[in-house]
Structure 1
């Protein structure tokens, strides 16, 4: 273990730091280490741990002394006390670094899994890569942003990032073609059908209307507006 103060290496810093006028606890606080951080080399810590475990197993007196603590651990009281301690004294720099590292690793894992799912979806659609799929669906196929995202199985925000990566600009308001507008209409119809569990939303609306449902009731059921319901009833 390398001393933060003098830069010299020792098997254990617990006694050495006294030469700098510090206690082990004070040393940990000074340099932002976990309060549970061992100040000995790993080999030394392992040998001490093994010796202590053997002593504990062989001593009925020690087991009796540690019994209350073991009970507290099983009941979660030690974890609760650790939370209270963290609230009183704050988190050490090392703990914050470890938390950030775990969060970053979790994000990288999630991103990798999402990228793998997207790759599988793109290949299933018959494209070589994501950029080719976005160009084919959004540009060549003239689909809306929402329809393209749905085909790729991603959210709107992710769709925009994919388009930025592929160098494709989002069409401005009113710039969609007739095909794009038809795509949005079909997407809205499909969403309404899924909401009420129907195969064809127009047939479902007409059947409900014939059974006595009002336009307002149908609008509430589908999550759409009254004019939207009326337009489909007139088809």
Structure 2
């Protein structure tokens, strides 16, 4: 007869208030008290028969009596009460869990724990299991990313990547700088920081679309497309056609670039600039900062629109349009 013939390895056999001994096959209210007869102790017995360290080796009644005795001692003995409260505090704070995990690290799982794990896994759907694996992997990736960013003095991986990309660094170069595999950010940035990944992708897209402009703009003294478009289209009121002619690109390329960089297209830009220059000239000739101030002053003096038009040398419709009376 083998030892396992009395009770299965990895199982504690109970019968009412008694527990079966794996060694001799006899029944006891407490196997713990019986182990001395076999020259072994609690830990060695559990290890030999694949039992968890928390598996009860006493009958239900015995465990209940021990619990009742402990409650009475806790109520009457201040030292026991202090120990119990300290243990409860450590359990609530997670210290005991961490200590148990540390102590179990590297130790083979007993057969009893292995069977429990297999039963628990069998009850979990493959979809839920895979989702758990993905969540665990994501937590791990975020931990690695946060550590890499902190070592380089950044609050998070998004701030690190944004800073380096604006400086012209590639994701591979940033990964190497952070002590990661060169493809780490390319593979995992979208998982750990989707917002930054989208921003980087948009930045790369804009740079790719702006590439045909850069050689031309360098010759014109501009570092980037937004600066050039603001200067030509918004500041100097160059039309889309004029910008296209200057850069050698198509009208659609200019229009797309304006939209890409968030610049509103000004229709009839050249005409509008000429009209504004004309109004500024009238105001300057009479010593006013703008034509609106000039018209307000003349109307306050009692001049009619006809008289104002004659004074400034413009048509009545032009004067009234500047005053906002004609659209």
The TM tier, using the shorter chain, reads 0.3 to 0.5
TM-score (norm 1): 0.43
TM-score (norm 2): 0.32
User: Which is bigger in relative contact order (C-alpha 8 A, separation at least 6)?
Assistant: 1
